[in-house]
Structure 1
Amino acid sequence: MPGRSDIDLLIAAAHGSGKIARRYWRREPRIWDKGGGAGPVTEADLAVNDYLIDRLLKARPDYGWLSEESEDGPARLDAEHCFVVDPIDGTRAFIDGQPGYSHSLAVLRGDRVVAGVVYLPEMGLTYAATEDGPAKLNGEVIAASETDLADADILMSKAALKPEHWKGGTPPEFTRSFRPSLAWRLCLVAEGRFDATMSLRPAWEWDIAAGSLIAARAGCTVSNMHGRAMRFNSRAAQVPGLIIAGPKLHGQITERMALAPGVGSSRP
C-alpha cells in the first residue's frame, strides 16, 4: 500500500537530507530573511529542498508537493497523494549551531497523513510511522506517557501560559519546557520523554504533518487547539494550533482551556 512503500523512501530521503545539512551546520551558511515575519532561511534549507524535490518527485511524479521552501500552487489540492516536507525544521537552532534541528517528511492521502518521518541528524534520531503500524524511534516501538496535568511536563511557548487562555487562570501544576523544532516536540511526546505539546498559534502543515502521525501511532490524542481532528492539504496549508498528549491528559488540557470547546481526536 502507498503508506507502507513510501516510508522507506521517506527514511532514505531524510537521511540524505541530513548529509546535506551537515555540510553547512556550524560553517556559517548564508542567511536571508524571508520577510513578512516568516523568519530566516539559509542556503542549507534551499539545498535540502532541492535534493528532496529531486529525490521524492522522481520516485513519485504523480504526487503533489508542499514544502516550506517551495512556491505553493493549487495542483497539490487535486492530487491523490501529496508530499509535505520541511527541509529544516528549527532553522534558527541550525543557524545557532544547536543540534535540535530536524528534517520533517510526510505523505498525505487526501487530507490524512499516511507516512511520516522526522530525522535529527546531529542526534542520530529517526522517528517514523505509517497509518497502520506503530510509531518507532530508530526501529524500536515507542509509546506516549500516561499522566495527569498536575504531573505533566508540557512542551509549549511562554505565550500559551497567559491566563486568558485558561479557565480560572493558568494551571499552576504542570512544568513548561521547550525545544526549537516543532516536529521534534511532537516526537518527544510520542516517545514519552515529555507528556504533551501544544500551541495556540496556527501551525504550518510542513511543521506538523509527519510528527502528528508519529504521535497518533504512539497512542496520543492529536487535535487542533479547539480539540478537533486535524486535516491536511488545505489551501492555507495551516492547522489552527495543536494539542497533543495521551488521551487522559489531552482531555484534562482541553477541559481547562478557554479556547477548547470540545474534544476530538485524530488517529491516522
Structure 2
Amino acid sequence: MKPALRPIALGLAAAAIVGAGSPAAVAAGRPAPRRIMSLNICTDLLLLQIAPKARIASVTFMARDGARALFPGQAAGIPVNHDLPEDIVQARPDLILDSELGASMTRAMARRAGARVVEVKNANTFDDIRQIIRQVGQEVGEPARAAALIRRMDATLADLAAHPPPRRLRVVAWSGGTAVPGKGSLTDAIITAAGAVNIAARPGVAESSFGVEELLAARPDALLFGGATLGQPSLLDDEGQHRVVRRLYAGRRIAYNDIAHTCGLPQSADSARDLRRALDALPERRTAP
C-alpha cells in the first residue's frame, strides 16, 4: 500500500469495525467475545489452548509453528495475521490480545476502531504464568478452561517438588553466545523447578555473560541450549561448537524448547519435567573439566 493511502485506509477500517458493533456498548454485562484476535506468539499459544476455535478470528503467522512444537494441529484452519493495522480490518475482532511491547500504532488503531485491547505481560516466574492464564481465561470468557490448564501445570510442578533429585546438578543455558539467562528469567524458574542450579543466576541480573573461559572455570554438570526458532531443536546455528566444549561436554548437552522458555505457558512446567528427565539420564561424570 502506498504511504499516502495508508491513513485513508486506516480511517475506513476504523469506521468499518465500529459499524460492526463496539464491545464498549456491552461492557457492563460483557458477554464472551466472539471474534478474538492475537497479535503476539505468546498470546497466540495461550489463546489456542483456552478459547474454542470457532471464536478465534486470527493468530499471528508464527502460531502454526509454535503450536506444532507444543500441540500439533491446534492452529490448523485459523486465519493468520502479520500484526498490521490492515489485519484488524480483515479479522474484524471484538477483542485483541497483545503483549506489553506490542506495536503502538496497531493498538491505537484497534482502540479507535472499538475493539477492546488486552495487554498480557511477559512471564518470568510460574506465579506470572498463573496470573497470565487467569487473565486470558477471564478476558475470553473461559475461566474454567484456564483453571484446568493451571491445575495441570501445578500438578507437574508438585510432582517435581515431591520427588527431588538425589543431587542438584549445576547447569547453565549456554550456546556460545555472550548472554545467558540469569536470575529472574523464566529459564531460571524452569531450571529451579527441575531441581537443578542455574550457575548464571547471579543477584540482580536477568542475563549473565559467559565466555568459553568462564564456562570452563565454572565447570557446570551440563549445558542447556535452545533449539531453532519456535522449539525445533537444531545444532546447525549453535555457536557452542568450540572444540574444547564439544570434547568436555560430549553427551552432557541438553536441548530445550525455546518457546516454553520464552512464553509463559503451561508447557513451561513440562519443560522443567523434561529437563529433570534429561538430567537424570546423564552418565556419571568420570572426569571434571
**TM, length-normalised to structure 1:** 0.30
Q: Which has the higher strand share?
A: 1
Bigger Rg over Cα: 2
- TM-score, with normalisation over the residues of structure 2? 0.28
